[in-house]
Structure 1
Amino acid sequence: MRRGGRDPMPGTYQTTFGDVELLRDLDRQDGWVLSKEGVPQSYVDLQDPTYLDFEYVRLMADVIDLLPEGPLGCVHVGGGACTIPRYIAATRPGSRHIVVEPDARLVDLVREQLDLKSVPKLKVRVAGGREGTAGLWDESADLFVLDAFTAATMPVELATLEYMADIGRVLRPGGTLLVNMADGKGLAFARRLTATVRERFRHVALMAEPGILRGRRFGNLILAASAQPLPIELLGRRAAGGLTQARLVEGDALTRFLGGAAPIHDGEAVLAPVPPPAVFG
């Protein structure tokens, strides 16, 4: 897509925390992938922001689509190419976005190459997730999206009960939290992070492709959480009917999934899982 006479330029770009690659999707004229250390980080279609290429992003969009109608006040911790803000801007005009992203040079890259200025009512705060969240007003967000990774590993400081409490402070009483996490065999980290979210939020649902949910392969799992009931039946049907044919786990089944896993607290020596090299070829 031409922006001011220029198309995005594929190549390797230096950012604050290492090099990233900007790759064109050969199957879609305006599709672009941001990749770091061989791990795809974000996908955007500059002409059609409602096209979502990554399976886990489609699951997040299923949740967003079922929120009450109208514009949303959104916080996104983890910027990347801002796929979800673009999607919400297209499907819910008038929504406002605060994106918290620690990599200033990555923000500049996305702004210059991937037309970030085209997303209305979006502000970027260059800060770490904890710092950026601490600076937000109480009860100021309808949706809080936590999708922050260093390459393919989630920062553990964003997975603790203390941080979930701060997210709860920022969300309005009926607000929704979405968490993207990744795990593999045994799902030890996923169980503990789910237990952490469930400790703070009364209503929690976990969604993932069945093979991932059984710990048979490494992949992404999505948590939806709120102080208010979630649209479980509709969400379960959407998840199962999508390309991933994902399963939704909640209530007693989620309790069994946790298997007594304990919440994560600040200062604990917890290691976030690293994907096997074969996952990304």
Structure 2
Amino acid sequence: MPGLYPVTFGEIELLRDLDRQDGWVLSKDGVPQSYVDLQDPTYLEFEYVRLMADVIDLLPEGPLTCVHVGGGACTIPRYVAATRSGSRHIVIEPDGLLVDLIREQLDLRSVPRLKVMVQDGRDGIARVWDSSADLVVLDAFAGATMPVELGTAEYMSDLARVLRPSGLLLINLADGKGLSFARRLVATVLGAYRHVALLAEPGVLRGRRFGNLIVAASRTELPVDLLTRRAAGGLTQARCVYGEALTRFVAGASPIRDGDPVLAPVPPPAVFG
């Protein structure tokens, strides 16, 4: 049912999509967090989620073992379950009441082979076995802000531990003017992975407006030519930055380490207003 619901860390609003009978938006403090279509999990309303799906689609065919840091309405687990039958999912989400809400109101029980760990991202990943995942998705936000403790070199190392040698890491972050946080986060990821690409809408990449950026990283080669074409073919005609262009993007930014005084970017009020 649409409405406001109390959760562990505040209040969640569920909104029905008036254009799609089974479409739902999960919003917190006025910030859209997730969109799901209960009858068609392959329908992805948010462009940055579509970019993540484009990267996942380029992995070798067959079921995947996935770890998702940040649950929300579990859009990506639903998508992978629909497109790769037999996939397994561990979702790490610290808000237990939110998990209960999604189970009850948005049919989370319909997603096969999904296990939820009610823990924060650091403690939850520490419990996952070494070399056990084909895909790790880091999409954790407190409102519109990514927790800095999930963007450090120490945490990237732990995520790398969980991934199989050919595994893929996907990170959703948000940044605005100057992209200083994005540059430092990419520098951090480059310290743990040999192959890294950054995908975003051109205006966001130029720092002209606040928005989402997707980092894809692996210890094996990424299909950057295919990624570039897929990104450019979407609604926002996103760009894929890698290699020397990514080195120039980072521009000497220093990696983030535990304890560093880093301010995660906060969107201007008008972004969601």
Of 214, 222, 225, the match for 1:230: 222
In structure 2, the partner of 1:275 is 267
Once the two structures are TM-superposed, the CA of residue 244 in structure 1 deviates from its matched residue by 1.4
One-letter amino acid of the structure 2 residue matched with residue 28 of structure 1: R
Shift in Å at residue 19 of structure 1?
A: 0.3
Identity of aligned residues (%): 78
1 CA distance for matches of 2:254 and 2:261? 13
Q: Which runs of 4+ in 1 moved over 4 A?
A: none
Q: In structure 2, what is the Cα distance between the partners aligned to 1:214 and 1:195?
A: 17
User: What displacement does 1:135 show?
Assistant: 0.4
Which residue in 1 is equivalent to 2:39?
47
Q: Deviations over 1:82-115 (max 9, x none)?
A: 0000000000000000000000000000000000
Structure 1, residues 106-128: CA drift from partner, whole Å, max 9, x if none?
Answer: 00000000000000000000000
2:243 alignment counterpart: 251
Which residue, out of 138, 143, 148, partners 2:130? 138
> How many Å apart are 1:136 and its aligned residue?
0.4
Aligned counterpart, 1:215:
207
Select 2:50's aligned residue among 46, 52, 58. Answer: 58
2:233 maps to what in 1? 241
Quick one: distance in 2 between partners of 1:100 and 1:265? 22
CA distance in 1, matches of 2:228, 2:190: 19
Corresponding residue of 1:123: 115
Q: 1-side partners of 2:155 and 2:9: how far apart?
A: 23
Structure 2: gaps (5+ residues)? none
TM-score when normalising by structure 2: 1.00
* Pick aligned residue for 1:166 from 140, 158, 161: 158
Q: Match for 1:137: what amino acid?
A: W
The equivalent residue for 1:75 is: 67
Aligned match of 2:85: 93
The CA deviation string for residues 228-256 of structure 1, in whole angstroms up to 9 with x for no partner, is: 00000001100000111000000000000
In structure 1, the residue matched to 2:258 is: 266
- The alignment of Structure 1 onto Structure 2 pairs a total of residues equal to 273
Q: Which amino acid aligns with 1:64?
A: I
Q: Who is 1:107 aligned against? A: 99
- SS of aligned partner of 1:154: coil
Counterpart of 2:175 in structure 1: which amino acid?
D
Amino acid at match of 1:256: R
Q: TM-score, normalised by structure 1?
A: 0.97
> Could you tell me which residue of structure 1 aligns to residue 29 of structure 2?
37
Q: Per-residue CA shift, 1:10-57, capped at 9, x if unaligned?
A: 000000000010000001000000000000000000000000000100
Instruction: Give 1:197's aligned residue.
Output: 189
Q: Tell me whether 1:157 sits opposite 2:166 in the alignment.
A: no
The AA in structure 1 aligned to 2:50 is R
Which one of 18, 21, 46 corresponds to residue 26 of structure 1?
18
The whole-number CA distance in structure 2 between the counterparts of 1:16 and 1:272 is: 22
CA distance in 1, matches of 2:158, 2:102: 28
